[in-house]
Amino acid sequence: MIILHIYPVITKIQTCNYEAPHGALFLPSYIMDNIHLGTIATPYGSCDLRASISKYSDNDALAVLIEGTDDGLWSPYATLSVNIPEHAHILDENEFFAKDWSENEPLAEHLLDTDVFTDTGKAVPTGFVIAPVWRLNVSTD
């Protein structure tokens, strides 16, 4: 007799009227800090957002996860940072590689408007896109 265990597969995470594609979210093992970004109007609707700051384990580069709530319960909304270890040496303190393409494209401009993040003007190639370097303007110490 063969017993098959069938487990449900989550293919989308939905929060604040935005559906992130499977695999698009980075879930850090620990959070260094949470920075409230306020209510932001995006093409997906208005949502109260915060940035959860962590570090990638292989090179200590900043990892930034955007979380959202419309009911008081925080849940993943977007992964703002990307880990590019071969270029991490160009990052200064409080800088990270921002994912401003694909599903993050409509969100990136709104996040820069919060003054929590600044585009430094630096960028590196990764795959078929260019990853800009953003600065976190808030101390995480």
Q: How confident is the model at residue 140 (pLDDT cuts 50, 70, 90)?
A: low
98 falls within a domain: yes
Report which secondary-structure segment, H or E, holds 40.
Answer: strand 33-42
> What pTM did the predictor assign?
0.78
Is 45 a domain residue? yes
Handedness of CA 53, 137, 131, 100 (dihedral sign): positive
What percent of the chain stands above pLDDT 90? 52
Q: Is position 88 within any domain?
A: yes
Domain-embedded: residue 49: yes
Question: What is the predicted pLDDT for the residue at 129?
Answer: 96
Domain count, the chain: 1
Q: Measured between alpha carbons, how far is 16 from 37 in angstroms, rounded to an integer?
A: 15
The more confidently predicted of residues 44 and 123 is 123
* Helices (H), ranges, the chain: 105-112
Q: Is the dihedral of CA 96, 23, 115, 123 positive or negative?
A: positive
Domain membership flag for residue 37: yes
- Is a pLDDT exceeding 80 seen at residue 21? no
The domain containing residue 87 runs over which residues? 29-136
